[in-house]
Amino acid sequence: MPDRGGGPTGPRIRVGRPSRRVRTLLMTLGVLAVLAVAFVMFAGFWTDWLWYRSVSYSSVFTTTLWTKIGLFLVFGLLMAVALGVNIWLAHRLRPPLSAMSTEQQSLDRYRMSVAPYKKWVLLAVTALVGLIAGASASGQWRTWLMYVNGVSFGQKDPQFKLDVSFYAFDLPWYRFLLGFGFAAVVLSLIAAALTHYLYGGLRVTSPGARATGAATGHLSVLLGIFVALKAVAYWLDRYGLAVKSSDFKATDNWTGLRYVDANAYLPAKTILFCIAVICAVLFFATLWRRTWQLPVIGFGLMVLSAILIGGLYPAIVQKFQVQPNEQAKEAPFIRKNIDATRDAYDIDDAQVDDYSGKSTTTDGAKLRADADAAASYRVMDPNVVSPAFQQLQQKRNYYQFPKTLDVDRYKGEDGKEQDTVIGLRELNLDGLPKRNWINDHFTYTHGYGAIAARGTTTGTNPTGSPDFTESGLPTTGELPKYEQRIYYGEKTEQYSIVGGPQKELDYEEDGEKTTSYKGDSGVSLSSAFNRAAYAVSFGEPQILYSGAIGDGSRILYNRTPKERVEAVAPWLTIDGDAYPAVVGGRIQWVVDAYTTTNGYPYASRTTLGDTTVDSLTTNQRAVVAQQNQVNYIRNSVKATVDAYDGKVKLYEWDTEDPVLKTWRKAFPGTVKSRDDIPKDLMDHLRYPQDLFKVQRELLTRYHVQNPAQFYSGSDAWQVPDDPTNKEPGAVPPYYLSMRMPGQDTQKFSLTTTFTPKGRPNLGAFMAVDADAASDDYGTIRLLRVTTTVKGPGQVQSELNGNDDVAEFVRNLKGTDSDIEYGNLLTVPLDGGFLYVEPVYTRGGTQNYPLLRKVAASYGSKIVFENSLGEALNAVFGVEGSDTTNPPTQPTEPPGDTTEPPATGDAALKKAIADAQKAYTAGEEALQKQDWTAYGKAQTDLQDALRKAAAAQPKAGGGGAESSDESGGEGADQGS
């Protein structure tokens, strides 16, 4: 062959190697690229560690991390070893000579191509499968921790007499191990079969035996292990029947054994277990017999048995034994389901009393007096008045209030507790005058102040507005002195960098100021390494080089209460409604948290995300559960998040909950004792709404404890749609201080109504004592209505058709205003039910709701009046003044009644001059956006107009009306 590269007679061409400098540069770039990729992967881990350390919950991070790493390594290694050993064994058992056939000649070429790299191929395949298996196993860290830390429930299931902890903690882990075993055996079987085929141990078209003895023995052992695992699965399936969900006429989401399960499926699973064990032994026997005849027969018998015994026989039992007399057959199992479900959802002590729903009292004066004592009627609906808070108390465009405010209890000036509507003035970046990185993350960093209003009265400026007990910027009022800056809140989702050279916008009594964060929250950015990590993690390179960051700078993130509690306690399910409370000189977000499981035997399951939806949760809030379906829930933890420094504290609430005890063993020191709850915090703890909604949904069926009646569904209830909301959705529960029949005093309660299934009339009323400081906290009381009483929807329909309402709506059309209904409150009263509903107007000169009317209904009578007191007087047929609530529309101008007003031309001129002066001051304050001065000017203006009206008697009526309109319009413009 000629020398293609040139010989002695021609030049030799050499391919030059890169110079040392180039090689060094390439190596350096390669190392830097690897380091950069490694740093990007490490940044997320490092910032997580820094955050957990900043909130003093590093043990949660390390426990979770090491558990995941341990599961990843153990199960990844097991899967890799199982696969690798079987591939190696199949290769080692290959025949020394391959058959002479076209099939084998084709395979020889593949073997030749793979031979030089077979070790690397083996390592690559086993490593890849091991990584996948390990990653999957690491996701089972909750299952593992519950298994190794599980404590006894102290209750046994009625079928197998095993502690509930077996089903809640042990069975899920056993099922994971079984699933992992099946995956390892199937993958090993496939890999071994392919290796045997590649090296001639298995043949498809070649003459002679289809498999060598070695291949037969190897694959038979794997098949034997598979069938043995199937036997274990049949045995576990027996216990799985106690937590199995199925369709059943008696109720949706039935869980537990039924007659066919106990008398057909259970013995069938036992028989199939025995058959599977025998079949596995036959597969193992091929190591000596070297034939698949008996194993194949055994496997066929097992499949046939599964069809006949596991499928056909139960169907026959269901068809010919159960269906002809289903109610009697299923009665014992319905009883078990009722008892387990009521216990699992903590409704077993719910008190159900018959209640006529119709009063026998004809004395209107007595009913009127009893009505005052029956409840503190909350005419300020927290679901409606948020726009009023926004317009009257926003003060700056870059502040906001939540769409749904919260109801709590605070002491008034008289020292008595009163229902209070409260909301925090949080930051709203969309309202900034100019959006840029510095403004978004350095200048505008926090909200300011808690705004509170009485729930049972209205204000007079303008009339029908909230009666604020805490207002202004900074706020002043009846609340004790507290830290007003809000760095952590429900609407605070962006990160902020505080405490460094860049100052933050702030407020003091004399106006705008700047401040620098003094708290110890957040993660320090003084280190260049930390800044680089956050620049990568947040995808914001300016964090690395910005001059606005320096010594003392700290980054705040994960700022919503829900995010923070979920992060420090990932094993809890968080309530959808965190609420603020002014406690100990700070604003504390109170977060209710639940422990759940879906492994409570016989307890019917519910989907939390569906059960907790009502007419208010659309696009606002909803529970996102760790486990979509649960059949056990406890409000086991009360958590607080400090609105200033973000500190998270977890307090044990349910001291008997075995699920919480299990997690406390897994994460020791993270949950404080119930005895550590401060007294002033205890005064603001309440029964959580989402738990109440879950319980009320279950009680629509499980208030019935008689199996026959439960099966027939004759006394089933439903949660009615919210009649005050145009969009479909269940009526939300309402917090209300009220007195149930048999109680001596009002209790802060959470209430709801039921209607009979498919009917609009009132079926039942439910209330739970929601005051955590009460001895009766958590006591559920149900009033089953025994006569036909109007339901909420029917009352609302009657109200809409009322002549007074129709006239009111017609009059509104001329003012370009709309009517808006508030919460329809239901209160048991002297054998009947009193309905009270505030009615607001919105539009016209003001674009926020003002309380204008109150509707009331008792028995067959419905009224529509100017105030709560007038409505109660009218519905009971009593003449008298409004002693319950100040009128929502004053009948005469308020003023100083201690001495007669000045009259005459001199007084009129002075009043007009004062009015002009006040008007000018108001306009100047409006231009400066000085809302404190503006409010004072409006008060002075109204006072001057009243004096002017009084000074000239002929114009008195018109003057009073003008003063109201001027004050209202001015306030609206200012808003």
Q: What is the dihedral of CA 612, 615, 619, 624, to 10 degrees?
A: 0
* pLDDT(962) > 60: no
Tokens 């025949």 belong to residue: 95
Of all residues in the chain, what percent carry a pLDDT higher than 70?
Answer: 87
Q: What DSSP designation does 750 have? A: E
CB 389 within 8 A of CB 466: yes
Q: Residue 732 contacts by C-beta under 8 Å, 6 or more apart in sequence? A: 383, 614, 615, 616, 689, 722
Q: How many CB atoms lie within 10 A of CB 162?
A: 15
958: confidence class by pLDDT, cuts 50, 70, 90: very low
951: confidence class by pLDDT, cuts 50, 70, 90: low
Average pLDDT, integer, range 906-917: 74
Q: Which residues lie across from 504 on neighbouring strands? A: 515
Q: How far, CA to CA in Å, does 159 sit from each of 165, 232, 411, 770?
A: 15, 19, 53, 36
Average pLDDT, integer, range 578-582: 95
DSSP notation for 849-917 = EEEEEEEEEETTEEEEESSHHHHHHHHTT------SS--SS-SS-----SSPPP-SHHHHHHHHHHHHH
pLDDT at site 99: 57
pLDDT at site 927: 60
pLDDT at site 523: 95
What is the rounded average pLDDT for all residues in the chain?
86
Q: Residue 716 contacts by C-beta under 8 Å, 6 or more apart in sequence? A: 700, 701, 704, 756, 757
Average pLDDT, integer, range 263-275: 94
Q: How far is CA 579 from the centre of its chain?
A: 13
pLDDT at site 952: 64
Burial pattern 569-584, b for ≥16 Cβ within 10 A else e, equals bebbbbbbbbbbbbbe
Whole-number Å distance between alpha carbons of 144 and 150: 10
Whole-number Å distance between alpha carbons of 460 and 428: 28
- Going by C-alpha positions, the residue among 694, 567, 715, 722 that lies closest to residue 635 is 694
Burial of 891 (0-12, 13-18, 19+ CB in 10 A): exposed
736: confidence class by pLDDT, cuts 50, 70, 90: very high
pLDDT at site 834: 95
CB 154 within 8 A of CB 656: no
Of all residues in the chain, what percent carry a pLDDT higher than 90?
Answer: 60
* pLDDT(298) > 90: no
Whole-number Å distance between alpha carbons of 179 and 20: 55
Whole-number Å distance between alpha carbons of 196 and 206: 14
Q: What is the pLDDT of residues 589-625, one digit of tens each?
A: 999 999 999 999 999 999 888 888 887 776 455 555 5
* pLDDT(960) > 50: no
pTM over 0.95? The answer is no
- Beta pairing, strands 734-738 & 351-355: unpaired
Structure tokens at 822: 């508030």
Q: Residue 460 contacts by C-beta under 8 Å, 6 or more apart in sequence? A: 886, 890, 894
pLDDT at site 10: 47
Tokens 């738990």 belong to residue: 691
Q: What DSSP designation does 211 have? A: B
- Beta pairing, strands 780-785 & 351-355: parallel
pLDDT at site 421: 94
Structure tokens at 738: 């009220």
966: confidence class by pLDDT, cuts 50, 70, 90: very low
Q: Residue 416 contacts by C-beta under 8 Å, 6 or more apart in sequence? A: none
Axis crossing angle, helix 171-198 with helix 213-240, rounded to the nearest 10? 160
257: confidence class by pLDDT, cuts 50, 70, 90: very high
* pLDDT(969) > 70: no
Whole-number Å distance between alpha carbons of 86 and 129: 13
Highest mean pLDDT of the ranges 98-112, 206-220, 637-651: 637-651
Q: How far is CA 183 from the centre of its chain?
A: 34
* pLDDT(583) > 80: yes
- Beta pairing, strands 606-607 & 648-652: unpaired
* pLDDT(939) > 80: no
Q: What backbone phi and psi angles, to 5 degrees, belong to 504?
A: -110, 150
Burial of 9 (0-12, 13-18, 19+ CB in 10 A): exposed
* Helix count and strand count (H, E) for the chain: 30, 34
Average pLDDT, integer, range 400-415: 88
190: confidence class by pLDDT, cuts 50, 70, 90: very high
Which comes out higher in pLDDT, residue 271 or 923? 271
Q: Which residue pairs, CB below 8 angstroms and at least 24 apart, start in 174-179? A: 174/236, 175/236, 176/137, 176/140, 176/143, 178/229, 178/232, 178/233, 178/236
Helix locations, 394-457, DSSP H: 437-438
Q: How far, CA to CA in Å, does 151 sit from each of 146, 183, 637, 666?
A: 9, 30, 18, 11
* pLDDT(729) > 70: yes
Structure tokens at 514: 């700047």
Average pLDDT, integer, range 258-280: 93
Average pLDDT, integer, range 72-78: 96
**Range of lowest pLDDT (202-216, 387-401, 479-493, 833-847):** 202-216
Q: How far is CA 740 from the centre of its chain?
A: 30
Q: How far is CA 743 from the centre of its chain?
A: 33
DSSP notation for 771-797 = BTTSTTTT-EEEEEE-S----HHHHHH
Which comes out higher in pLDDT, residue 911 or 862? 862
Structure tokens at 483: 């830290």
CA angle 565, 770, 677 (to 5 degrees): 50
* pLDDT(166) > 70: yes
Q: What backbone phi and psi angles, to 5 degrees, belong to 144?
A: -65, -45
496: confidence class by pLDDT, cuts 50, 70, 90: very high
Tokens 């350390």 belong to residue: 53
- Going by C-alpha positions, the residue among 289, 294, 241 that lies closest to residue 269 is 241
Average pLDDT, integer, range 471-491: 93
Burial of 217 (0-12, 13-18, 19+ CB in 10 A): middle
Q: How many CB atoms lie within 10 A of CB 707?
A: 20
pLDDT at site 963: 34
Q: How far, CA to CA in Å, does 505 sit from each of 158, 436, 441, 444, 513?
A: 64, 15, 11, 6, 6
Tell me if residue 682 falls in helix, strand or coil: helix
Q: How far is CA 503 from the centre of its chain?
A: 35
Which comes out higher in pLDDT, residue 360 or 504? 504
Whole-number Å distance between alpha carbons of 754 and 699: 10
Q: Which sign, positive or negative, has the C-alpha torsion 306, 311, 316, 321?
A: positive
Beta-strand ranges (E) seen in 438-550 are: 447-448, 450-460, 463-471, 476-477, 485-486, 496-498, 504-508, 511-515, 523-524
- Going by C-alpha positions, the residue among 61, 57, 147 that lies closest to residue 639 is 57
Average pLDDT, integer, range 269-298: 86
pLDDT at site 885: 45
* pLDDT(724) > 70: yes
Terminal-to-terminal C-alpha distance of the chain: 98
Whole-number Å distance between alpha carbons of 56 and 99: 69
Tell me if residue 255 falls in helix, strand or coil: strand
Average pLDDT, integer, range 704-713: 92
* pLDDT(931) > 80: no
Whole-number Å distance between alpha carbons of 576 and 734: 15
Which comes out higher in pLDDT, residue 437 or 106? 437
| DSSP H or E segment with residue 618 | none
CB 844 within 8 A of CB 459: no
Whole-number Å distance between alpha carbons of 644 and 585: 11
416: confidence class by pLDDT, cuts 50, 70, 90: confident
pLDDT at site 208: 54
pLDDT at site 930: 56
Average pLDDT, integer, range 332-361: 93
